[in-house]
Amino acid sequence: MATSTLMNTTKAALLSYYFRRVDMSDTYRPQTFYFGLSSTEPLADGSGVTEPTIGSTTGYARVAVAGNTTNFTEPTSSSSWYITNASVIEFPEVVVDCGTMNYIFISTAATGGNIVAMTKLTTSRPMPAESKLTFPAGELKFTFLNATT
C-alpha cells in the first residue's frame, strides 16, 4: 500500500471545523484542486517538494480537478479510511526530461498554494521528453491511517 498523508494545514482545518465549528474557507476547501508531482517526499508542513519547473520550457503543469463527487470517490473504509480519484488524472506532455517522479500531491493552486495531501506512487514514474503521465480512475489512494493501540 502506498504511503499517504494529510498535510498540517489540512489537519488543522479539519480539527477546527469539527471541534470548533469554524467554517472551512476556500483556503482550506477550494473549489478546484491541483495535482502535482514530486521526485522527493513532501513534508507534513508542505515543504520538501521537488516539482518539475512549471511552464512552457518544460511543458509540465499541475492538473486542475474540481472538488466534487464525480472526481473523488466517497470515503471508504477497509483497514483505514480513504478516498481515490474517480476520474483519470492526466498530466500534459512534457517537452524535456523532467526526471523520475515518486510522489503525487494535491495543492490549492496551480502554482504555490497549500499542499493538502500527498501519496507515494506505488511505482516510480519516469518523465522523459515527449511523454505524459496518466493515472487511471482509482489508482491514487489518499488514506487516513487508523490509530493503533
Residue 74's pLDDT is what?
Answer: 85
Distance of CA 143 to the CA centre of its chain: 12
Residues 6+ apart with CB under 8 A from 81: 75, 143, 144, 146
The per-residue pLDDT string of the chain (149 residues; one tens digit each, 9 = 90 and over) reads 355 677 777 777 777 776 666 776 655 678 899 999 999 999 888 899 999 999 999 999 999 999 888 999 988 877 777 889 999 999 999 999 999 999 999 999 999 998 888 899 999 999 999 999 999 999 998 887 655 54
Residue 1's pLDDT is what?
Answer: 39
Residues 6+ apart with CB under 8 A from 86: 69, 70, 71, 72, 73, 137, 138
Q: Return the closest-CA partner of residue 35 out of 125, 94, 146, 117.
A: 117
Three-state secondary structure call for residue 31: coil
Amino acid found at 108: T
Residue 13's pLDDT is what?
Answer: 74
Domain boundaries of the chain, sorted by first residue: 4-144
